[in-house]
Amino acid sequence: MSLIKLLNNKIDRILFTTPSHNQKPRFDFNVNSFYKVDYSEIEGFDNLSNPKGEILMSMARASQLMRAKQTFFVTQGVTSAMLAAMKTIINQDDKVLVARNCHKSVYNGLILTNAFVDWFMPDTIDEWGIYGVIDPKKLENTLKINNYRAFIMTSPTYEGINSDIKEISKICKNYGVYLIVDEAHGALYNFSDNLPQSAMAQGADISVISLHKTAGALNQTALLNVSYDINNIEINQFQQSLNLFQTTSPSYPLLLNIEMCLNYLSGKDGKKDIQNLINDIENFKKDLKRFGVDVYEADNHDITKILVKKEGISGLDLSDFLYRDFNIEDELNNQISCLYLTGIGTSRQKLDKLKNALKKVITNESYEEEKIEFQPMPIVKIRPSDAFNHNFIYVNKQDCLLKISNTLVLPYPPGIGVLYPGEAIQKWHLDYLNNDVEVIV
Ligand SMILES: Cc1ncc(COP(=O)(O)O)c(C=O)c1O
């Protein structure tokens, strides 16, 4: 089938995935007008790689909304925003501490910066089979005995777990460590008092935000935020790093979409829509509890990420059941729970469909909940950039134990590495590997 056929077919699935917009614009952006606004840097137009006019002014307005010293518009996703942030902050041979539940773009940034990495294990929430917060005490103990250039972490996680960035940023500042927060899933935080505080508001040095995941904008729209605390690095260095990763033909339609999205979020409609979404999910949760469906709740949890489980059925079977019988697709699931993402574009009707489907889930009394084994601390043998440039051979799976992997094992979503090149292959990795394994010699 061609792409034309694929995308012209009506997809009647009910998606609780990214992007949140549900294939409809919530703010005035007509896809048919894409061509009308698709220009290059013609005379009188601004230039994303050296903004001096309308783009600069629009980014200045965005900086205020984001509580940042400087916000940059990015048209190639949080991935390129993260790469640019890392390229600016991290120098050759620096040592960086990275939370293991970071997205693979951070690993790519480690390759590009020639940095050494230590991994930091976040807490786990075993009853739901998900990663939890970054424990500030544990972080402080790690920073005390090592010399890191930066700490990179994700908050919120896919499942809406928010770490105490205020405390973490204080600790990082005490130890002279830059704090970079992947806030891809937290685009709504600056626009509601009923959601967790944004990373910028809590003192992070840098945050990267995706506007397509929850804020109703088009795929690839993102922001890079630099805080007022970054004194000794010129804003221009961030621009230069962005220019390394961004095309020289940035999309005006996407830039326009970013500006419209921020205008909408900060205006009456955006605020009202976010509050309505929160109210609808609160009601949804109350209803579901009456039907024996558990919905994850905790202090500082982002309510827009609906994580559910039900006694008597595994998360995997729950996901299959809703998909097969109700056409409802989740973003992510594990043996225990399923994650339904919402955002700008999620209507009450859509939530009702999910609620009604969840009420009808058939369970089995004799089913015993499985325990999820979280990965142990990885054994890093060589740095990511060395692994990237190394030769490799294939060995049989039975001979690969403790050899240095050249294989990337990375379930997507969530895009969190189970095994990265440069790490020793441990016994528990074997389940993920094919018969021929790439190892570094
Ligand atoms: C936590 C997190 N960070 C970064 C990214 C990458 O974002 P993008 O797809 O906008 O490049 C993702 C994408 O799924 C993500 O979930």
The atom of ligand 1 lying closest to the CA of 210 is 10
- In this prediction, residue 221 carries a pLDDT of 97
Q: Write out pLDDT tens, residues 250-283.
A: 999 999 999 999 999 999 999 999 999 999 999 9
Question: Which residues lie with the beta carbon below 6 Å from any ligand 1 atom?
Answer: 77-79, 103, 105, 154, 158, 182, 184-185, 210, 222, 415
Rounded distance from Cα 103 to ligand 1 centre (Å): 6
Q: How many CB atoms lie within 10 A of CB 98?
A: 23
* CA atoms of 354 and 298, how far apart (whole Å): 21
Rounded distance from Cα 422 to ligand 1 centre (Å): 23
The atom of ligand 1 lying closest to the CA of 154 is 1
* CA atoms of 132 and 125, how far apart (whole Å): 6
Rounded distance from Cα 306 to ligand 1 centre (Å): 18
Name the stretches of the chain with pLDDT < 50. Answer: none
The domains located in the chain, with CATH, are 31-266 (3.40.640.10), 269-359 (3.90.1150.150), 384-440 (3.90.100.10)
Q: Could you tell me if residue 217 is left (phi over 0), alpha (psi between -120 and 50 degrees) or otherwise beta?
A: beta
Candidates 73, 75, 76, 78: which one to mutate for ligand 1, based on the most atoms within 8 Å of Cβ?
78
Residue identifier of the C-alpha nearest atom 10 of ligand 1: 77
- In this prediction, residue 31 carries a pLDDT of 62
Q: Write out pLDDT tens, residues 397-423.
A: 999 999 999 999 998 888 999 999 999
- Number of residues in the chain: 441
DSSP assignment of 336-396 equals S-EEEE--TT--HHHHHHHHHHHHT----TT--PPPPPPPPPP-B-S-HHHHHHS-EEEEE
Local structure of 112: helix, strand or coil: helix
- In this prediction, residue 33 carries a pLDDT of 76
Structure tokens belonging to residue 19 = 């992007």
